[in-house]
Amino acid sequence: MSDRVVVALDVGGTGMKCALVRPDGVAVRTERHPTDAARGPAAVVDTILDVAQGLIAKARADGLTPVAIGIAVPGVVDEARGVAVWSANVGFRDVPLRDLAVTRLGLPTALGHDVRVGGLAEARLGAGRGADHVLFLAIGTGIAAAHVVDGVAGVGAHGAAGEIGHIMVRPDGPRCGCGRPGCLEAVASAAAIGRRYGELAGDGRGDAASSAQGPEQSPGAAVTAAVVAERAAAGEPLAVQVWQEAVDALADGLATGQALFDVSTIVLGGGLAQAGDGLLGPLRAALHERMTFHREPRLVAAALGDEAGCLGAALLALDAAGVRATDAARVPDHQEER
C-alpha cells in the first residue's frame, strides 16, 4: 500500500501549513492558507475542516488513499480527548476539534500541540534522529519545549507538559506574561532579548536623546533579537552583555531540563536558533559549566525549520491510523491507541 497518505495541518495564529504526507515522511503536496483568527473560533474550525476536505479530495484525485488526519494547534491541547482547550492566538476555548473532524471527514484524526509535534518531528526525522531521549525547545516570542522519549512526546496529565518557558530563572527578573516574575521566557525569549536591549540602551542615553539620534544610530530603538545577535557577534558591548544574559538564563533553564529528563540530545528551534553558532557556541559553554554529576547533552540546531509542525502532525496521524511509518520515521513499539 504505497499509495497511502495522511492529511497534516499545522494551525498558527496567522497561517496554516498543510500537507499530504507519505508514511516515509515525504510531503507530496503542500499548501498554505490564512487562519484569519479575528473571524472567531467557529470560522477557524470551518476553515480547518474545509482545507482538510480539500486535501482529501486532491489526494483521491491523484490516486492516493488518505488514511488519517493530524492537526496541530497552539496553546493547551488535551490530546487524549482531542480537545483544543485554550489558545490565545487562535481563540480556541474547549473546541472538540478531533470529533468535529471525524464526524465531518470520516477519517481517524489526531490532535496535537504545535511545539510537541514539532519536537516529535525533530526527534524522529530531524536533528534528534537516532536519539531515544530528546528535549526540543522552540525559542521565539515565547519558549516552550517537548520531551520526546522513544518517538513519543510527553503530553502531561492536563495537556500542558513542556512549559519550560515558565521555569523561574531570575526571581528578581522582569514579570512574565503568565504573571510571575523571572520566568525563562521573560528573560531569554526573542521578544525579551529585544526588549532588554532597548531598555538598557534607553537607560544609558535617555529615550528622548536616543530617538533624536534617528533610528539608524539609536540602539534604543526597537531592536529584534536577531539584530542583538548580529551586534553581539560584532562586539558591541551592550549587545554582548544582553546576549550573554540571555544565554546564561537559557543555560539555567536547560540545566533544569537536563536534571529532570537526562536527555542525550537537546534540539533548539524557533527564531532565536537562527543565530546558529552565535547561540549554540556560548550556550554549550554555559551549559557545560552548569553540569555537575549530570551527563552533558548534545546541543544542536533544529533541522526541519517551519515544516516541523506540519510533519509532526503527519506523524501523529500515522500513529492514529496505526500505519507503521517506513524508512525515515522512527516509530515506537508501543503505538498509542486512539
Helix, strand, coil percent content, the chain, rounded in steps of 5:
45, 20, 35
Question: By CB under 5 A, is residue 285 in contact with Zn ion?
Answer: no
Q: Does 176 bind Zn ion (CB under 5 A)?
A: yes
CB 71, CB 9: distance < 8 Å? yes
> Considering the complex, what minimum distance in angstroms separates the CB of residue 171 from Zn ion?
12
CB atoms within 10 A of CB 168: 17
Q: Least distance (Å) from Zn ion to the CB of residue 267? A: 22
Alpha-carbon gap, residue 174 to 219, rounded angstroms = 20
Name 235's Cβ contacts closer than 8 Å, sequence gap at least 6: none
> Interface residues for Zn ion in 149-168 (CB under 5 A)?
166
* Half-sphere CA count of 74, side-chain side, radius 13 A: 18
- Range in contact with Zn ion (rule: CB under 5 A) among 61-69, 103-111, 170-178, 282-290: 170-178
Q: CB nearer to Zn ion: give 143 or 229.
A: 143
Residue 286 found at the interface with Zn ion (CB under 5 A) = no
CB of 140 vs Zn ion, minimal distance in Å = 15
Exactly one of 183, 228, 266, 310 binds Zn ion (CB under 5 A); that residue is: 183
CB of 186 to Zn ion, least distance (A): 6
Cα 124 to Cα 153, 165, 310, 324, distances in angstroms: 11, 23, 13, 13
Taking the complex as a whole, how short is the minimal distance between the CB of residue 159 and Zn ion, in angstroms? 17
Cell of 9: 495541518
Give the one residue of 57, 80, 178, 285 binding Zn ion; rule: CB under 5 A.
178
Residue 232, SS3 per DSSP? helix
CB nearer Zn ion, residue 59 or residue 144: 144
Query: In the window 199-228, what residues touch Zn ion (CB under 5 A)?
Result: none
